[in-house]
Amino acid sequence: MKALDIIELVKAEPLALCNERRLNHDYSLAFATDLMSDALAMIQDNFDHTVLITGLCNDQVLRTAEMLDIEFVIFVRGKRLPESSLEIAEDMGINLYSTRYTMYETCGLLYQNGVKGIHVNSLT
Amino acid sequence: MSTVLHEHYEVKPDDFANAGKASSAIKEQLKSLGLSPAVLRRVAVATYECEINLIIHANGGTIDMDIEEDGTIRLVFQDTGPGIADLEKAMTPGFSTASEKARAMGFGAGMGLPNIKRVSDTFDIQSSEEGTRIELTFVES
């Protein structure tokens, strides 16, 4: 699904639109967690097509996304980041959105529409 | 093997506000040298996990990065913290001694050290009551 379609599907609001051209980018994979260590353990080469879904709202989500080359993050349950974090996201070029859906509902909606989960596999 | 580039970073104790900044700087530096995204990502993930460990488990520490003539990236993380009581347990996925503060930041899943070992090409860890030293190397595949 294109980022724009995902945003519409989960009725997400932009927190930081830092990379407009990525809105037409295709995201076929998603990973949902509040544990950034778990996200870091999912390292692989297709993060360009992966959206990170989380309920954790702090700078470490942005740092984790940066390390993994993830450029699209959705925060669940209407959570928002402080202004200082939005400035960091801008520097990193990461698009941040917030949806009112829970993590479970967000994942369900995406999965129902063809966005699959990622699995740990060998590094390439 | 002689070094063509050396960088040194200090990580302050309990500096949660700046956690990850050294890793960002290292990733940026390596990116400017034209490394492939795959190796960049592995270095970034390992560095970030180690930097977080320096903040949450030790009293801060240092990061030294050397790029050798043959392109090998060598990273050394050194602290004077309390050391790791049981290294075998610490290398077990899921085992964690992280504080509530660290967990609130999104860490403490017990995946740190196993993940650092998995993404690096060589991994060496020495730990005693005087501190912990981790040395990692990475090469372009």
Q: What is the pLDDT of residue A120?
A: 67
Greater model confidence, B1 or B126: B126
Banded pLDDT at A43 (limits 50, 70, 90): confident
Contacts of B114 in chain A (CB under 8 A): 41
Closest listed residue to residue B105, CA positions, set A76, A54, A87 = A54
Q: Which of A63, A85, A92 should one mutate to test binding to chain B, selecting the residue with the greatest count of B CBs within 10 A?
A: A63
State whether B112 and A37 contact (CB < 8 Å): yes
Closest listed residue to residue A114, CA positions, set A1, A10, A22, A9 = A1
Place of tokens 């995406």: A110
Residue A32 lies in a domain: yes
In CATH, which superfamily holds the domain spanning B3-138?
Histidine kinase-like ATPase, C-terminal domain (3.30.565.10)
Of how many residues is chain A composed?
124
pLDDT per position as a tens digit, B51-96: 999 998 888 999 999 999 999 999 999 999 888 888 888 888 888 8
State whether A64 and B48 contact (CB < 8 Å): yes
Structural domain including A25 reads 3-117
Beta carbons within 8 Å of B46's beta carbon, 6+ residues apart: B75, B115, B116, B119, B120, B136, B138
Greater model confidence, A47 or B64: B64
User: Measured between alpha carbons, how far is B67 from A64 in angstroms, rounded to an integer?
Assistant: 24
CA distance A39 to chain B (A): 10
* CATH number (domain holding residue A45): 3.40.1390.20
Report domain extents, chain B.
Answer: 3-138
Residue A49, chain B, CB below 8 Å: the answer is: no
Q: Which of B15, B18, B36, B52 should one mutate to test binding to chain A, selecting the residue with the greatest count of A CBs within 10 A?
A: B52
ipTM above 0.90, yes or no: no
pLDDT per position as a tens digit, A73-116: 999 999 999 999 999 999 999 999 999 999 999 999 999 999 99
